[in-house]
Structure 1
Amino acid sequence: MINFPKNFLWGAAASAPQTEGHSLSNGKTASTWDEWYVQNPEKFQPGQGPATTSNVYELYADDVKRMQSIGMNSYRTSISWTRLLPDGKNVNPEAVSFYRDYFTKLNEAGVTPIINLFHFDMPWWLMEKGGWENRESVDAFGFYAKTAFELFGDLVQRWTTFNEPVVHIECGYLYGYHYPDVVDFKKAIQVGYHTLMAHVAAVEALKASNCEGQIGIILNISPTYARSESPEDQRAKEIADLLNGKSFLDPCALGTIPVGLKEVLADNDLLPITAENDSVRIANNTVDFLGLNYYQPRRVQAPENPQTPALTPADFYAPYDWPEKKMNIYRGWEIYPEAIYDMAMMIKDEYGNIPWYVAENGMGVANEERFLNEDGMIEDDYRIEFMQDHLQQLHNAIEKGSNCFGYHTWTFVDCWSWLNGYTNRYGFYRVDLDNNYARSMKKSGLWFKALSENNGFNK
């Protein structure tokens, strides 16, 4: 038996925009997803927009009971900014009732809520002002965070500010997967900087409140592996780490922006506009803990024909196709459990062994109905194997002293996945889109129940 530390958090993660539904009702106003679906529905899976998703707004009470039934003792989800503050200023009382009841039911069921404030769902009213390009977004987010802490601080002891901030930056301003779907490296860096300062504003707001909770941030820190030991490939690795990992990890955990990152940006005319005293605010508002999402490693090599100054990150590093890789063919992602060990030891050795947890880890598979047995249960043994392999590596790191306090999968019930809709499924529970979003447990749910009850599993 592989045993984990006492009081280890076993749970799952999700987000408001991917699960709640009721996206333009009950007092909620539009996010960029709602508006983009109206403007360009062809970019999304046919008929699978953000309106209903998994209908958690109506089904949350029963979902909490389902969490109990598979042994979850914790759950991370997010608050919808546009539900709580439809115009950015005035509180929506129905949202307060919804979230207070939701969080209360979680606590009563012994499921510790970890509540995130932003999961890619920029309010449309703020996007019309430039979104994260506009410094006004920093204060707007700080006010939103302050409001959430005041309204729910008695129910929530662990808060996070952003989920994977690098993703809304690169997907919105470099790669076309999020609104506003532009390619502008300079804007991307400015958006990233304002996101960092918005995070700082939220940490400041919690410190100024009467809440006793802790605050962190959730980052997708995929370890970077270079093709070779050549100076060119190693430089590609270094810059990939600076842009994708250390850009948020260092200021949030250590209170400093890496000198190497500043130099790379300066050399390529990419430095953001800053404000006086920003560096002091960053230094004084480091996080209490980290959430780290891990799905796949990043493998890089030196680019063949880079532009100078750089126009995209591809001018700094190119992807490397490792010939020995094992793949999840449905997502096109490499499966490499060893990286979760490397990530854990990096946090131990380079970041003061700050408390952290696996905030997301999981396997998306298409057409899971192929694996329905005669009792109507999906036998997702591939997902169980995936979790076992990663947990083995995580346990190895904990044994070596890494300060990890939990493991959350993506996700609890199948959820809506942005432009991919419901193409790939991740949940412990199947969601039947043709039957009023009915839930049915998969085999992995039974396995997870045993995992939680035993606080470990047999090799």
Structure 2
Amino acid sequence: MTVEYKFPEGFWWGTATSGPQSEGAADIDGRKMSIWDYWYKEEPERFFDNVGPQDTSTFYANYKEDIKLLKETGHNSFRTSIQWSRLIPDGVGEVNQKAVDFYNNVIDELIVNDVLPIMNLFHFDMPMCMQEKGGWESREVVDAYAAFAKKCFELFGDRVKHWMTFNEPIVPVEGGYLYNFHYPKVKDGKRAAQVAFHTMLANAKSIKEYKELGQDGQIGIVLNLTPSYPRSTENEADVKAAHIADLFFNRSFLDSSVLGEVPAELVELLKEHDVLPVYEEGDVELIKNNTVQYLGVNYYQPRRIKQKESEYTEDVFMPDMFFDNYEMPGRKMNPYRGWEIYEKGIYDICTNIRENYNNIPFYISENGMGVEGEEKYINENGVVEDDYRIEFIKDHLRWLHKGIEEGANCTGYHLWTFIDCWSWTNAYKNRYGLIALDLETQKRTIKKSGRWFKEVADNNGF
């Protein structure tokens, strides 16, 4: 195999998942409800085909077999998350020993198989008992999260050297407090701002805990970056609208976690509309002094923006007051997910981080293609021939390679995801895995892309 695109020595090849989307075993061995379990119980019809979080891909029972499959598909690294509702079922206080045993076993099994464990602490899965105290609106919950994080570092930090505080922290803000696609389904700009600020605070507090323990690893955050492109770079109003979208959806968490401050323009906007969050003395200083050491970047799609043309009729503060989304003619689409495929976006992210964020080390922590009805691509040997996924990965890796060649400090590429997994209200509608999961039998079968991915990892390029 001639390798045209060679990646840096020690590059991370792997995938990402999360505890709530892969473990299953939702109500055994002491785990208590998260907001997803509760919401499913209340409104199962909000979930595709009424499939809830108890039906995730049984990693809890099958982690040994799954880690062997990681090896078979070329992984040298893997990100998952520790479920707060499993480890400390009441949110605070007593640690669940069965959870400690499980996470110890997973970490040890990964290490034995030469797969680097990257552990994330929060992946949308607020324990229901903490949500009842106000979730991220509550300082008590912020402190409880910092205590949970510290406990994780103490229990597992001797072997886990790469930590993530949050996955996509903007998403619970958007989904839970603005656009009604996550629980608690609130639509309130001021409460959304409070949730965002307290999440930044929780991030800083957990980093402070990590530093104080003096462990010899690194701590970062995973952000979903969606580059905002104006409809026309010639049109000042379009450019300004795209800039504002960028402030809300990218720079809110990117600037605060890497540079230690919320963009002044965003603060002004929130102030002007009377939705500034409440904060206490010392909070700003804490965020400033506890920034991340590296970044995970999830990239799926760009954001296309034009100046506000439709009348804004909502009576609540929303980002949409300042811009309209724009459908670019001729754009390439993933029809199943309704998302634009724009490979160059990954390169633009590399350039932005290099030029504006001190070229902080980062890795692509998620990138992937969700496809509905993959069974129609199964060949006579029972293997999904997902050439479309291979092309998707190649096209993104070419642009990532260019970004690295130009000096971006990118250390790896992870796909979403290893095995077809449960995805929030979408459940199993779109399949993302390198490995197909039969929901009836839980049988795992490596797809064509999984075999190809191993070749890429073995050759450190393609």
Contact 2:187/2:316 (CA < 8 Å) preserved in 1?
Answer: no
Q: State the partner residue of 2:112.
A: 108
| Coordinate RMSD, CA, aligned | 1.1
Q: State the partner residue of 2:26.
A: 23
Q: State the partner residue of 1:217.
A: 221
- Distance in 1 of aligned mates of 2:126 and 2:314: 32
Asked if 1:121 corresponds to 2:103, the answer is no
Q: State the partner residue of 1:50.
A: 53
Q: State the partner residue of 1:8.
A: 11
* Farther-moved stretch of structure 1 (97-106 vs 231-240): 231-240
Q: State the partner residue of 1:154.
A: 158
Q: State the partner residue of 2:298.
A: 293
Asked if 1:278 corresponds to 2:283, the answer is yes
Structure 2 counterpart of 1:178, one-letter code: H
Deviation string, structure 1 residues 299-348 (Cα, Å, up to 9, x no partner): 11111224699621111111100002000000000000001000000000
Asked if 1:359 corresponds to 2:365, the answer is yes
* Farther-moved stretch of structure 1 (215-224 vs 45-54): 45-54
Counting only pairs closer than 5 Å after superposition, residues 195-214 of structure 1 correspond to structure 2 as 195-214=199-218
Query: Residue 135 of structure 1: CA displacement?
Result: 1.5
Normalising by structure 2, what TM-score? 0.97
Structure 2 counterpart of 1:252, one-letter code: S
Deviation string, structure 1 residues 155-211 (Cα, Å, up to 9, x no partner): 200000000000011001111111011211111111111111011111011011142
- Distance in 1 of aligned mates of 2:383 and 2:275: 52
- Distance in 1 of aligned mates of 2:415 and 2:375: 21
Deviating 4+ runs (over 3 angstroms): 306-310
Contact 1:215/1:289 (CA < 8 Å) preserved in 2?
Answer: yes
- Distance in 2 of aligned mates of 1:295 and 1:372: 25
Structure 1 counterpart of 2:131, one-letter code: M
2:102 aligned counterpart, secondary structure: helix
Query: Residue 58 of structure 1: CA displacement?
Result: 0.3
Structure 1 counterpart of 2:367, one-letter code: N
- Distance in 2 of aligned mates of 1:52 and 1:157: 30
Q: State the partner residue of 2:247.
A: 242
Structure 2 counterpart of 1:73, one-letter code: N
Structure 1 residue corresponding to 2:454, chosen from 449, 453, 456? 449
- Distance in 1 of aligned mates of 2:172 and 2:314: 25
Evaluate the alpha carbon distance shift between residue 43 and residue 307 of structure 1 in structure 2; reply closer, same or farther with a 3 A threshold. closer
Asked if 1:85 corresponds to 2:88, the answer is yes
Contact 1:268/1:310 (CA < 8 Å) preserved in 2?
Answer: no
1:291 aligned counterpart, secondary structure: strand
Contact 1:268/1:309 (CA < 8 Å) preserved in 2?
Answer: no
1:46 aligned counterpart, secondary structure: helix
- Distance in 2 of aligned mates of 1:302 and 1:172: 26
- Distance in 2 of aligned mates of 1:222 and 1:303: 19
Structure 2 counterpart of 1:343, one-letter code: I
Asked if 1:36 corresponds to 2:36, the answer is no
Structure 1 residue corresponding to 2:431, chosen from 425, 432, 453? 425
- The alignment covers a number of residue pairs equal to 456
1:424 aligned counterpart, secondary structure: coil
Q: State the partner residue of 1:302.
A: 307
Asked if 1:321 corresponds to 2:341, the answer is no
Gaps of 5+ in 2: none
- Distance in 1 of aligned mates of 2:241 and 2:312: 11
Asked if 1:264 corresponds to 2:269, the answer is yes
- Distance in 1 of aligned mates of 2:308 and 2:96: 50
Contact 1:73/1:110 (CA < 8 Å) preserved in 2?
Answer: yes
- Distance in 2 of aligned mates of 1:268 and 1:97: 49
Structure 2 residue corresponding to 1:232, chosen from 225, 232, 237? 237
Structure 2 counterpart of 1:329, one-letter code: P
| Percent of pairs with identical residues | 52
Query: Residue 231 of structure 1: CA displacement?
Result: 2.1
Normalising by structure 1, what TM-score? 0.98
Deviation string, structure 1 residues 2-37 (Cα, Å, up to 9, x no partner): 100000000000000000001121110000000001
Structure 1 residue corresponding to 2:192, chosen from 183, 188, 204? 188
